[in-house]
Amino acid sequence: NTKRTIYSPNFYLCFIAAVYLVVFHLSFFMFVWSYWKTIFTSPASPTKEFCLSKADKEQYEKEERPESQQEILRRANGGEKHKIKYCDRCQLIKPDRCHHCSACDICVLKMDHHCPWVNNCVGFSNYKFFLLFLMYSLLYCLFVAATVLQYFIKFWTNELPDTHAKFHVLFLFFVAAMFFISILSLFSYHCWLVGKNRSTIETFRAPTFRNGPDKNGFSLGCSKNLREVFGDEKKYWLIPIFTSLGDGCNFPTRLVIMDPEQLTVSSQNEPAKSSGASQPFPARPLSESQNRLLTTDCQWVESGPEEENVKSGMRNR
Ligand SMILES: [Zn+2]
Ligand SMILES: [Zn+2]
């Protein structure tokens, strides 16, 4: 018993120190790993199949009227009827959710924003890493602030030894707390965006579908939206390795689709044809489409032969 009373405070302190060391290094390691991946993952750009052929490009450049230019783009894009976005700088047809970044001077797939903190574009290729970077830096700052808190309080009650080191406590707490608060707001905002399947750019300008702009056009429901970014396998969610679904050019929408088999064919073999602000299927909100299908089918025929294939109001995935 005497042994225990002598050693137990030491054991307790050792145990706490071990826990602190493990948590600190684990959160620091994950933070550095995800930060590294966010910085050094180059933004994904559209592939060569989105470039116009030489003849089309010459014709496009000669043409001055926007309507005729759109006609050339539509023809090159497999006869899609809606407006097609073209990047004059990169000279390619922009797939859905693709934007030109003026800082990187390239078109970036599912561009979210250009982040000066990581000196990189945040987009399809590194959005998951960016979210994990925010999460682990939040955890890291929280850990530092929480473990320094008791010494921070002692600083103000004059219980710390009177050395220069006591100002380190002050500085450390303020920096950790300040970063924690600012990252928390950014992280909460991006969690909300993931839940809505929206990019930062799309919150300012809603993506356009055949029926016009729809800010929730890509939303498939909270759980599926999360899987779009983090993938289907939960064991990889917290690790900064790429597991996002899709190819970055074609995105499932909440709209009524054609036969799923046809969709697979169109998205795998002819990605260019379903690009632009385009959908390979009728662009009507699911709820609306379901109602229409329940009442009458003939309303779909007006839009063209491909849309006669519409089956029930199925979702994409
Ligand atoms: Zn571009
Ligand atoms: Zn950029």
Ligand nearest to the CA of residue 122, numbered in listed order: 2
What's the 78 CA to ligand 2 centre distance in angstroms?
A: 29
What's the 133 CA to ligand 2 centre distance in angstroms?
A: 18
Identify the pLDDT of residue 127. 96
Ligand nearest to the CA of residue 115, numbered in listed order: 2
- The residue ranges of every structural domain in the chain are 48-122
Query: Which two tokens mark 258?
Result: 């054609």
Ligand nearest to the CA of residue 102, numbered in listed order: 2
Identify the pLDDT of residue 81. 63
Please confirm, yes or no, whether 115 is among the known catalytic residues.
Answer: yes
pLDDT beneath 70, residues of the chain: 1-7, 79-82, 256-317
CA–CA distances in Å: residue 87 to residues 45, 78, 93, 163, 277:
12, 18, 6, 61, 13
Catalytic residue among 87, 104, 115, 191: 115
What's the 119 CA to ligand 2 centre distance in angstroms?
A: 8
Identify the pLDDT of residue 59. 76
Residue of 295, 209, 294 lying closest to 254 (CA atoms): 209
What's the 44 CA to ligand 2 centre distance in angstroms?
A: 11
What's the 193 CA to ligand 2 centre distance in angstroms?
A: 19
Query: C-alpha 5: how far from its chain's center?
Result: 55
Identify the pLDDT of residue 128. 97
**What three-state secondary structure class fits 230?**
helix
Q: What residue spans of the chain are helical by DSSP H?
A: 2-40, 54-62, 66-76, 127-156, 165-196, 200-204, 222-230, 260-269, 286-295
What's the 35 CA to ligand 2 centre distance in angstroms?
A: 16
Residue 204: how many other CB atoms lie within 10 Å = 8
Instruction: Collect all residues with Cβ–Cβ distance below 8 Å to 298 and sequence separation of at least 6.
Output: none
Ligand nearest to the CA of residue 99, numbered in listed order: 1
Each residue's pLDDT tens digit, 213-234: 888 889 999 999 999 999 999 9
What's the 43 CA to ligand 2 centre distance in angstroms?
A: 8
Residue of 236, 237, 230, 247 lying closest to 194 (CA atoms): 230
Phi and psi at 18, nearest 5°, equal -65, -45
Ligand nearest to the CA of residue 106, numbered in listed order: 1
Task: Name the amino acid, one letter, at 135.
Answer: M
Query: Which two tokens mark 227?
Result: 């899987």
Residues 194, 225 contacting (CB under 8 angstroms): yes
Residues whose Cβ atom is located within 5 A of ion ligand 2: 101, 103-104, 114, 121
Identify the pLDDT of residue 116. 92
What's the 114 CA to ligand 2 centre distance in angstroms?
A: 4
